Amino acid sequence: TGVGLPLMSYAMGKVLGSKETSLAINAGIAGALDPEMQIGDVVQIASERFADLGVQEADGRFTSVHELGLIDPDTPPFRGGKLLNEAAGNFDFLPAAHGISVNKVHGFPSDIEALRKKYPDAQVESMEGAAFFYACLAEGLPFLEVRSISNYVEARNRENWDVPLAIERLNEVLIELIESFFG
């Protein structure tokens, strides 16, 4: 679909509006907020949040659209401001993780600290997942989001990233997943 929430939203609208679909799979790379994760680990995402949809207050704090009262945090498909994949446990060959989706990946230490404080259960950061979850949940479509860790969410340093390894591991898992469907 390309990078970012708008591209994912458009792609999901096109697919869901034009084709009968029985399962959607979103696969990509992500940054790890969880220091226990290793570069190249592959996880399925059990929950997502739109982590930067809201306003920055005058004192620098972030206030989400749910906290602002613009979107009730329990209006379906949200539950407590999260988007949950109830079927995530069906793919038990992958560890589950909790994700956040952002328009701007985090690379500044104080912003990362604020993010971890605001969303303490977040383990991975991507730029598409919440839009994918939202579309699938709104349409009642079974889905799976698979992410491979390419980097840590830390002070930005591209030398610490390993995108080739993350993609190699992601491809291995996707082949295993497809073989499990048809093998």
Which domain CATH number covers 9?
A: 3.40.50.1580
Domain residues for the domain of 172 are 5-182
Please report the sign of the dihedral spanned by the C-alpha atoms of residue 68, residue 71, residue 74, residue 77: negative
| Of residues 99 and 10, more confidently modeled | 99
- Scanning the structure block, which residue is given the tokens 């994700």? 99
The pLDDT tens digits of the residues spanning 45-86 come to: 999 999 998 999 999 889 999 999 999 999 999 999 999 998
Report whether pLDDT(183) > 70: no
How far apart, in whole angstroms, are the C-alpha atoms of residue 14 and residue 6?
12
Instruction: Answer for the pair 148, 174: CB distance below 8 angstroms, yes or no.
Output: no
Please give the tally of structural domains in the chain. Answer: 1
CA 30 remoteness from chain centre = 8
pLDDT value for 19: 75
The pLDDT tens digits of the residues spanning 88-116 come to: 777 777 899 999 999 888 888 989 999 99
CA distances from 173 to 44, 94, 99 (A): 11, 9, 19
Q: What phi, psi does 118 have (nearest 5°)? A: -70, -40
